[in-house]
Amino acid sequence: MPLPGGIKHVSELQVEGHRVFVRVDFNVPLDKATRKITDDSRITATLPTIRHLIERGARIVLGSHLGRPDGQVKPELSLEPVAARLAELLSIDVVLADEPVGDGARKVVSDLRDGQVAMLENLRFHPGEEANDESFSRSLASYCDIYVNDAFGTAHRAHASTAGMVKFVSEKGAGFVMAKEIEFLSRLLGEVDRPYVAVLGGAKVSDKIEVLDALLERVNAILIGGAMANTFLEAQGKSVGKSKVEKDRLPNARNFLRKAVEKQIKVHLPTDVVVAMSLDDEAGAKVVQIDAIPPGAMALDIGPASIENFRKVLAAARTVFWNGPMGVFEKPKFAAGTVAVARTLAENKLALTVVGGGDSAAAIVQAGLADKVSHVSTGGGASLEFVQGLDLPGIAALRP
């Protein structure tokens, strides 16, 4: 199936003997003391694209950022451990240039033979990356004949390696990760099977009010859990004890609830919650009705009646977008709501089920259900912006 907007898939490109720059997302978590990679899933995610290019005899130049060096060379943020891990996974040499651009980088690229892989040093060691500087973009572009973006997680940023350099390269396309993201997230913006239900949770209303407002234009119902629900409950005049509430977002919450009524979109909030005296008070966890939260307690998960109601709505849905856990899922006593949502999505085989967001993705992986939903998006901010209907610079740049 062709990608929306005429974007080419990497498998449609004639890459043999050509230098292919691949923007990857190798921004992996590193252990502070040992600089060992603590989770290499961002590296393994790109292996299909890199292997494809190796098999087709491309000369591969990988570019990524790591952490926030803010335009300066910070040796502790070198991509060296990443290059080493990639070499191990591919069982081939991966040459790391000692700079993102310059004579050393140019030499590494020009020494490449067909099927070989090189990596540029952390692109954010140069201020031109985040500034989307033209001369830095031109330097990067001079290292390749073909541009491929496989870094969905940074596609909402207009940086040199995600946007600026692309206009100076004649052929371009999406890698396997990027293509799958575009394919599934685009389906949420088109004609969907209904009911279309959104489940929103997580930490903050302020992170997600734009996506909530945008979803009101598309969905049939919205379920709200997590810390975010507290602000909505308080906006409705309920007492939520010591729960996290964003006071400055109460007007946003009221406004959202009013618009939902006008549009006749049903908003489901928790009717009961699991409370405790603090985040560490797992022993004191208990279920209370929403109008009986003790003054000193915090709501840390949705309760069993709310789970039942959310399950019913989700089981009847034919399209679901889920972002944000229903509670403090990192702690077993406060994980039931999040696990129940994950399970209900996994069981609903009739629906298109899309999960987006860093912690939501971690939660569904933790529940062992990631391969039971239609798509788990790897981009946090990027997937929210996409679902909002915004045009992401890194995707716009791939269109002909």
8 catalytic residue (yes or no)? no
Return the range that interacts with ligand ADP (CB under 6 A); candidates 140-148, 179-187, 199-207, 234-242. Answer: 199-207
Chosen from Mg ion, ligand ADP, none, partner binding at 330 (C-beta under 5 to 8 Å by type): ligand ADP
Return the range that interacts with ligand ADP (CB under 6 A); candidates 4-12, 144-152, 201-209, 371-379. Answer: 201-209
As given in the structure block, the two tokens for residue 282 are 């797992």
DSSP calls for 13-30: S--TTSEEEEE------B
Nearest to ligand ADP of 53, 209 (CB atom): 209
Nearest to Mg ion of 101, 227 (CB atom): 227
- Our finding on whether 325 is near ligand ADP (CB under 6 A) is yes
Letters for 106-145 (x = contact with Mg ion by CB under 5 A, - = none) are ----------------------------------------
CB of 362 to ligand ADP, least distance (A): 8
Letters for 241-270 (x = contact with ligand ADP by CB under 6 A, - = none) are ---x--------------------------
Catalytic residue among 115, 254, 358, 399: 358
As given in the structure block, the two tokens for residue 108 are 């590494």
- Our finding on whether 4 is near Mg ion (CB under 5 A) is no
Among 100, 153, 173, 380, binds ligand ADP (CB under 6 A): 380
Tokens 């409950």 — which residue?
233
- Our finding on whether 355 is near Mg ion (CB under 5 A) is no
358 catalytic residue (yes or no)? yes
Among 100, 128, 164, 202, binds ligand ADP (CB under 6 A): 202
- Our finding on whether 173 is near ligand ADP (CB under 6 A) is no
- Our finding on whether 381 is near ligand ADP (CB under 6 A) is no
- Our finding on whether 357 is near ligand ADP (CB under 6 A) is yes
Catalytic residue among 204, 244, 333, 343: 204
Nearest to Mg ion of 67, 358 (CB atom): 358
- Our finding on whether 358 is near Mg ion (CB under 5 A) is yes
Nearest to Mg ion of 121, 359 (CB atom): 359
Q: Which residues contact 275 (CB under 8 A, 6 or more apart)?
A: 241, 285, 286, 287, 288, 293, 294, 297, 298, 299, 300
What gap in Å lies between CA 301 and CA 304, rounded to an integer? 10
By CB under 6 A, name the binding residues for ligand ADP.
202-203, 207, 226-227, 244, 299-300, 323-325, 327-328, 330, 357-360, 380
By CB under 5 A, name the binding residues for Mg ion.
358-359
List the catalytic residues: 42, 204, 358, 381
